[in-house]
Amino acid sequence: MSILKIFKNKFFLGLFLFFIVFLIFAFCIGSKDIWFSLDDLGVIISGLINKLKYFIRVFSEDERLYICPDNFTIPKPNIISGFYRPLQHIPFTLIYNVFGFNAYAYYLTNVFFHALNSLLFFYLLSSFFTLDLAFLSGLLFAFYPTLDWIVWISTLHNFLAIFFMLLSLIFYKNFLFSTKINIKNKIYFFLSGLMFLLSILSRENCIFLGFWIMFAVFIYFQNNFKTLFQAILFTISKTWIFFGIYFIYFLLRLNAFGLYSLNRTFNNILLKFNYFNNFCCLKNLKISILTLLTIFLFFFIRNVFLKFYKNKNFKILLILFLGYLFFIWPGLVAYFNPRYISAVYPFIITAFITVIYFLLNNKFIKSNLLKKIFLFFVYLFFSYLIFNGALTNISGIKSHASSTLNYKQNFEVFFKNFNLNNKTKIILFGIPFVSDIKGVFQAYLNNFDLSVCLIRDSTLAEHGQMGCVSDYKTKGVKSKIEKVNIDGQIGFRLISLDKDHCGWWMDFSFFPLIWSPKDKAYVWTDKKPEVGVWTDFSMGKFLINERLNNNVITNVIFLFNNKWIDKNTVFVTWDSFNGKYVVLESNVLE
């Protein structure tokens, strides 16, 4: 077989693409150049499946429970708000049992699935486009989006969700466009449904895949039927498996979370998206501009659809546009972070390729010479995007990996200088934000039963963290911690000596938190704790003596309930000037 024929072989091109992606990402950093990031150790340790009861546990709990310290949990989730992502704990358990806490092994797992997803995306597109366009699309998917977050170990669920989504689409494509109705065809149908279930058990961002497939089938085949009712019946006959999967998934989430706290979830939505209060409603007999714009867009899209719905090319682009709308939602609910909207990239790239394909094959460009020139510039543009994307991502991965080593060094210095035994009960306060601090301490001390508590209300203010936008730092700024004893309760006063750059932060994602004894958790509120008034927190009460206009706390007292403290208690805080964790002197409890 000649070299040219090899490069025209789909199987070879797929493997070639996989190894290009895997090798570039795998070896752009060394095995010692990466450590864990926020969430990682907590998610790995608490989600280990060593017994059947732990397997049942990860399929029955919210993912966020695994990064909570001992003194508080998350607000009780419900069927809407719960983070239901049990599947990634299976590979995490396998990796841990073989490699322990070798961060590079977990990183390679993320790289492996991303490379595999690039291969699957290429394979899917090769059924509709030429091999060269499909191959370039696979490279574009692999390198163009921002992927420095691949270093973040606990984002494995993103790669798993896309992996199973692409498998679902491949199996469904084989079922839908098959001319034969046989056992093999039915297997494809059920496998498509199963892969869809596994995708949403990995992460919720692909939850609308089933609905998108239903709309796609209806739009694409609608013209084959005389009545709307016939088209709907045909769609149901080709997509009913997804209704079944949605029902199964609903039961799983209902079993895991129930309907508790739905009111709080809706209140949080209104708190975060306060324009909903004025959206689609009459207020003093005035309709909001946003409502009018929505009505206009609805009728505009409806009229465009009615005019062009018989055009096959238009229908394909409409289907891809709906895919964009169905998969962009995590960016709207959370943030437009590349990892939140990672599932939308296949639809964007496919739409881009589809437009190019239509231009080349629908007499828009009649001259063969012009087609070749156009194709040359398309390849050139693709090459630029791929090459530039690869360089940008390699640089980003190295930078992100380097930051994990700096993060690691903070703990290495601490555990080297301070000897903590397995009976120690650790209480941390006044430290920079670390979501899974309990997991970090448990990993370093190799004790998964270690007691670790955290005063969340005393998080050290830092620019870019948890809604803090002012110029506050965690190193090179002065602060003071004083022991206090009020009415028989011990505690600490935190005082900033550099109010413009050092302080403490009590908000979470731009919103204040309030302690809920009923939930044993912090919940969002629209009111900040009052200055000069004692306020409850998870382990006692605090008193804010000074809060600046930028919401940074510069003087605050924390008092502990005596039940949290005994002879084994060790208080750990942060030296804001030298930038390191420290244990308070032993006489602090005297």
Q: Which residue would you say has higher pLDDT here, 556 or 4?
A: 556
The side-by-side arrangement of strands in the sheet containing 580-583 is: 451-454, 425-428, 569-575, 580-583
Positive or negative torsion for Cα 541, 547, 553, 556:
negative
For 287-320, what is each residue's pLDDT tens digit?
Answer: 444 455 555 555 555 555 555 556 777 888 888 8
Q: What are phi and psi of 490, to 5 degrees?
A: -85, 160
For the cut 70, the answer to whether the pLDDT of residue 472 exceeds it is yes
Contact, 248 vs 239, CB < 8 A? Answer: no
- Checking if the pLDDT of 587 tops 50, the result is no
The β-bridge relationship of strands 451-454 and 504-505 is unpaired
pLDDT for position 590? 46
> With 60 as the cut, is the pLDDT of residue 399 above it?
yes
Q: What is the pLDDT of residues 473-482, one digit of tens each?
A: 999 999 999 9
**394 contacts: CB under 8 Å, gap ≥ 6:** 24, 28
User: What is the radius of gyration, based on Cα positions, of the chain?
Assistant: 27
Output the pLDDT for position 387: 92
Q: Lowest mean pLDDT of 74-78, 280-284, 396-400, 534-538, name the range.
A: 280-284
What value does the mean pLDDT of the chain take?
86
Nearest to 64 by CA among 52, 79, 54, 77: 77
Between these two residues, 79 and 499, which has the higher pLDDT value?
Answer: 499
Q: Is the pLDDT of residue 280 over 50?
A: no
Q: Residues 329, 208: contact at Cβ < 8 Å?
A: yes
**Of the spans 165-174, 362-371, 412-421, 579-588, which averages the highest pLDDT?**
165-174
Element (H, E) at 117: helix 103-125
Q: What is the mean pLDDT of residues 515-540?
A: 90
- Could you report the per-residue pLDDT of 153-175, keeping only the tens digit for each? 999 999 999 999 999 999 999 99
Cross-strand bridge partners of residue 63:
none
pLDDT tens for 23-70 read 999 999 999 999 999 889 999 998 899 888 888 988 888 888 888 899
Average pLDDT over residues 251-264: 78
pLDDT of residue 6: 61
State whether residue 535 is helix, strand or coil. strand
Q: Is the pLDDT of residue 116 over 80?
A: yes
Averaged pLDDT, 223-228: 84
Task: Give the pair of three-digit tokens for residue 543.
Answer: 């008193």
| pTM to 2 decimal places | 0.89
Q: What is the domain partition of the chain in residue ranges?
A: 3-272+309-397, 275-304, 418-589
Q: Answer with the residue of higher pLDDT: 152 or 590.
A: 152
Please state, in angstroms and as integers, the Cα–Cα distance from residue 20 to each residue in 135, 161, 195, 472, following that order: 12, 22, 26, 42
Alpha-carbon gap, residue 560 to 564, rounded angstroms: 7
